[in-house]
Structure formats: structure tokens, C-alpha cells
Amino acid sequence: MPHLTLYTNVSRDKIPDDFLTTTTKLMVEIIAKPEEYIMVHVIPDQVMSFGGSTKPCGNAFLTSIGNLGLQENKKITKAFMEHVKEKLGIEPTRMYITFSDAKEMNVGHNLTTFAPDK
């Protein structure tokens, strides 16, 4: 159930048409979760600055049930920030990504949660 949200001051017209699909495929590769559960949410045109400058910047949040940890987060950070630099022109020095490892019982989907019934 990975859910990736990216807030950015990059304007909507500068977001490539394939950004959602290429980012989803990247998440499949680096977080090892099925594509049908991955959500990518981009919120462009934000009024934001980083380090006192309004040059392109971003703030990302990734929530997943598992597959997160020190080594995994470093791998995800590197791959995602390289992707965002290539596609949106946001330098890795102008962006954060925050990780949240959710418990199965705290994520609802398809009329229930991901927690197994006991």
C-alpha cells in the first residue's frame, strides 16, 4: 500500500505527462510492492521555499506497510531524488522525503484494513 505524496512549487504545466506512471514503476522496483497497491500523488504549484529560495523544491512523504528501514530508505531516497531531478529539475539538496512505516491495522482499503482477521 505504498502511498507517495510529493508537494512541489514546480508548476503543473512542467510536470511531464508520464510522471505518475514512471514514478509508480520506480516505486515497484525500489520498494518491492505490487503496482496495483501503489499510489502516487503530486501536488504542484505550491507556494513554498527551501533555504530562503523559491527555486524548484519539493517535500515528499512515503507511507508503506513494511519494506522500510535504514538501508531501504537510503536506497529509496537516492532513486527517488535522482528521478525527481531528471523529470522535474528539483535538485536533491532542495528536497526532503519523510518515511512512515504503517501498521496493517491502521490502513483501510476495500472495505476493511490490511490487518489479517484473527
Residue 98: CB atoms within 10 A of its CB come to: 11
- DSSP structure string for 75-95: HHHHHHHHHHHHHH---GGGE
Extract the C-alpha cell encoding 30: 525500489
Instruction: Point out the residues that are catalytic.
Output: 2
Q: CA 45: distance to chain centroid?
A: 17
The count of residues in the chain is 118
At 59 the three-state DSSP class reads strand
